[in-house]
Structure formats: structure tokens, C-alpha cells
Chains A and B, each alone.
Chain A
């Protein structure tokens, strides 16, 4: 009768705040992360389109300089004339030094300053390259810092282009974009045609390939942690000895522990998944065009059968992680020791998965590739990569069986060493080792 024990494991875990709080936190972190990234991004884009303040130092005073200044003003840029500050110099370096002083003394408040040298109008009249100095002020470091400056240079180029082409029959728009390009991407492995630039398509695919290992990592770490904690607690609170005298085999005891933590981790994984979907959703509201595209694309590209395989593979990996956690917990005399082993172990366990998410699978030798498809640590990531660009290999069911067999083997192996005697002597040796240090 193993089911009462599984029920107990499940209840004991799910009622422990130390277990479920991390799940809730990691599930909440994702949508919050979405908010944190998406809204500054959105406001940065919006902000860059309005209220730009540009100072002007006009040493040229010619017709074209005035024309450009008016053009900027007409395009919604607030223009502030700073020329009076620089009436007796024409050296750019001196002007910049003085500008720095002005900014430091807070006499001017602008986003950028444009310096028109004396030759501006005459050079433009000769239709040769026009000198112009743009002095940009950066007040804050942000990933989205540059759009403001882009906007100024775009306006300047637009004006100059139209001035230079004046009198000719050329259309400035055609000069800028001489090709009307339609890109079509063909995914060879899947035989699918997609409208769009391969760069855009691949980066959206890469986006999901990047997030899968990340989610897997978050969930796995909490599964290892949970299984280790719940097993170590049996040692710490001295309940293991009783458990081992019940009319159950050691394999049964371990298996209930595994299934209990596995069940709870499933709930945790669902929470995490909801968090991830919320993250994507927030992202797609804030920046509609790009993210929505990638999500739809991914779901379009993976077939139902492949998706089912992927889910089985993920579950097998979670099961494996729970087994690892149980081993760690069983060998630890208390929760603290288990925790200090789990941290580095979780890192180490992820090195292969990390490797796979960056490696080019097709360049590996066939044996190594088969191994990557079979190991619980690498399998879901390798399969996901394959599933997104191609279909899953024909042997996928075999790979899944190997992964599950691997986990069961680990459990059986643990059951063999899982006796009070080996555990107590191991723990004695461990504590002696620590005392010596």
C-alpha cells in the first residue's frame, strides 16, 4: 500500500510555505519582469517622438541653416537659439568646452545641440557634403536611450536630401529605398514557406529556444530543492527510521517521495507556465507587432505530436530532477546541508543543457547527438530546438524511453543505497570530514 504514503508526501509538501512560496514567487516574477521591461520600452519609444529640445549654434547664418532650423521647428522639435553665447568664436572645440560649462551651470536645458559651421549654406549650394556638429546630452543610461538622437539625424538628412535633389527630377524616397524588397524564408527541415526576412523569423524562433531552457531551469531547480528538502527533513526530524520499518520496500518509500514531490512540482510548473504566458501577453500588449508574431509562429510550427513528445520529455526531466533531489536529501543529515549541495548541483546539472541551447546539433557526431537526445538533462532542449526548425527525429519515442529508463535506474540505484545503515555511516563520515576542516 504505497498510495497513503504518496498522499502524505503530497500534503506535507503542499502545506509547507517553504515549498510553495518559491513557486508563487517565480511564477509572479515573470509577468512582473514583463512589466518592468515592456513599459519603459514603450514609454521610451513614445517619449522619443515628442518634446525633443534642440539647441542651435548658428555660425553660418545663411539661408540653408535658417531653412533647416525652420524645418526642425515645423516637425515638432523645440528649437532654442544658443548663438548669442558664442558670438566671438568659431572654433568647434572651444564651443564644445563652453557648452559643457553652460550645461554644468544649468544655464541651458536641451537634449542636443546642433552647431552649424560657417560653410554650411555655401557647401550645400555646391551640392557637396555638409559639415554639421551634433552635441548630445545623455542623462541616464538605458537600453532604449538612442531613439531621440536618431530622430534628429533623420530629420536633418531628410531636409538635406530634398535640398540637394531640388531642381532634379529624382525622388528622394526612391534614392533612399531603391528596392522594393519582398523577402521569403524557406525552412528546409520543415518544408515551410514564410513571408519575411530570415533574420526576423530566426530571431523569433531563437526567442522561444532561449526561453525554454530558462523555464526548465527555474522549474528544475525548485524540483531538486523541494525533493531534497522533503527527504532531508525525514533525516532531520527523525522520521525516516520509522518509515523504513513499515511493511514497504525501500523502493516504495523512495517512489512515494518521488511521486509526491513530482506531483507538487507539476502544480508549480503549471503556475510557472501561467506566469510565462502572462509575461508574453504583457509583452504583446506593450509591443504588439513583434512578440505576437513570434508566439503565433512558434505554435504554428510545432505539430501536435511533437508537442506531446516535448511535454513527455519535460516530465521525464522533472522526474529525473526529483530523483536527484531525493538522493541529495537522503545523504544530508539536515536541510541546511541539503540546500548547500543543491545550489552547485543545480548549476552543474545545467551545463549540458546550456551547451545544447547554443550548440549546433547537426555538427555533433551521431553518437554524441543520440546521447544529447537521450539524457534527461539535454533532451527537452535538444528536442525543442529540433521541433521548432524541423520535425522531431523518428526515434524520438526511443529517446523518451531511454530518458525515463535513466531516471528509473537512478531511483533503483538510490533504493539500493537507501538504508539506515549506509545513510548513518555516510552521514557520520561526512560530519567527521567537516569537523576536520
Chain B
């Protein structure tokens, strides 16, 4: 089943066209990577899928529901981790996870389950009970990843989930996301400008640049199609070939 379908999506900010007709499809249970350099339009695309921004034209559907006309239904299906997600200074990590669980599920066993999963995913130990202003960048990111995943959304959108994390932490987060998706059969969309990282976690990618999709497909297929060792080579070939 198609989890996310983007067709001919454009977005204009004043006279500037950030997205110039983007299309891609993500099937249920896949981990999909949207990759491209800074300013390519990754965040804009994700914000539109999450219902935070309105598209100028084109169509975006999440499990068949239109993000513009059925924003409310779509919100219940997805959870979104923004590129820059801060933390409430005077709230503890635990309180934050609890709040999110209750916002999604009210008070009950479902909320408690989500909270338990969140605590496990965050893996912060006793620091979980300290105010978030004492957290390092990596700890804040882990809380956010845990927060996004613990409600077991049909579609999770992670905008550069490993930004600002060191090598070990990034690996760990990638591992968590991979296991999570496999275990529950859930769809995940990840963006990154680190092509090598994406190879490690995604089975399918779309490479975008300056608001256009250069290519889309399974990583294995792309590598053989462009006769490349890794996605970085694919990207460079595409950009040079285009000029």
C-alpha cells in the first residue's frame, strides 16, 4: 500500500520557487530517504507533508488522505520531528514524554505503553528526570526521536534526525529507527544531506536539488544504474550530467 504519495508538488515563497514539481512514492513499511544539498527543499517538502505549510500546487496524500483537505486526519497518522526541535527548559524529559503520550492517547493503558516505549527509546537513564535545560544537544535529539517514534505513528517524518550528533550517537539513532520500523512495520521518511548515512538506513531514496527530483528508486538499483560505489557518486554524476 502507498503510505505517502507526492505528485507534482510546488511551493513558492513570494517570487522564489522552492519546490518545482516534486513527485515520489513511499510504500508502507519502507524507510525512505529524501537527500539533497542545503536549500534543496527537503524541509519544505516535509513540512507540507506534515500539514505545517500549504502547497502552492500539486497533491500530497498520506494513506490516501489529502494533507490540505484532511489535515486533521493526517495529523493522527503521522508524527514529525522538525530539523531544529528545541526543548522546554523547565520541563524534565520524562514529563515531556508523558505530556506527548497524553496528548495522543489521553490517560490510560495506551498512553502508559507509549510512555514506556518512549523511555526505552530515549535511553537516557536517570537524566530523564532532570530538566531539559541541562541536556546536551545529543540528549535533546534522542528525546525528540523517542517522542516522535513512541506514539507508533503509521508514518514518521524525521528531518535530519542525526544533525549535531557524533558518530556513535548517530549510529545508535539509526539503529533505533531501523529496528523500530522493522518491528512494527511502520513507514519512516528521513531527510539528510549526508548521503552515506542514508545508504546505511534507507532502502529507497529520492535525490533532490534546487526543488527538483533528480532521481528516485531503491538504493541497489540506483547504484547499478549509475555504476557508482555509493550515493554520493550518484549525486555528483547527476548534478554534473544536468549541467
Contact = CB atoms under 8 A, between A and B. Distances in A.
Interface stretch (B46-54, B187-195, B215-223): B46-54
A238 B85 contact: yes
A420 B91 contact: no
B52 A238 contact: no
B199 interface: no
B1 interface: no
Contacts of A244: 52
Contact of B102 (A4, A233, A421, A425): A4
A8 B52 contact: no
A11 interface: yes
Contacts of A13: 90
Contacts of A246: 75, 100, 103-104
A241 interface: yes
B99 A7 contact: yes
B80 to A, nearest CB: 4
Contacts of B84: 238, 241
Contact of B47 (A1, A3, A4, A420): A420
Interface string A221-241: 000000000000100111101
A244 B72 CA distance: 11
B13 interface: yes
A126 B12 CA distance: 103
A242 to B, nearest CB: 5
A112 interface: no
Contact of B91 (A8, A242, A249, A421): A8
A239 B88 contact: yes
A197 interface: no
Contact of A421 (B53, B79, B105): B53
A5 B99 contact: yes
B82 A247 contact: no
A33 B76 CA distance: 55
A303 to B, nearest CB: 43
B95 A8 contact: yes
Given A8-B91, A8-B95, A11-B95, A238 B86 contact: yes
A329 to B, nearest CB: 15
Nearest to A244: B52
A12 B88 contact: yes
Contacts of B89: 12, 16, 233, 237
Interface in B170-213: none
Contacts of A245: 50-52, 75, 78-80, 82
A63 interface: no
A425 B158 CA distance: 23
A15 interface: yes
Contacts of B82: 238, 241-242, 245
Interface in A160-186: none
A247 B103 contact: yes
Interface string B56-95: 0000000000000000100110111110111111110001
B98 interface: yes
Given A245-B78, A246-B75, A237 B53 contact: no
A103 interface: no
Interface of A: 1, 3-5, 7-8, 11-13, 15-16, 233, 236-239, 241-242, 244-249, 419-421, 425
Interface of B: 13, 47, 50-54, 72, 75-76, 78-82, 84-91, 95-96, 98-100, 102-106, 131, 144, 147
Given A1-B102, A245-B79, 7 more contacts: A11-B95, A12-B90, A236-B86, A237-B86, A239-B88, A245-B52, A246-B100
Q: 6 closest Cβ contacts across the A-B interface?
A: A237-B86, A15-B90, A4-B102, A238-B86, A241-B82, A245-B80
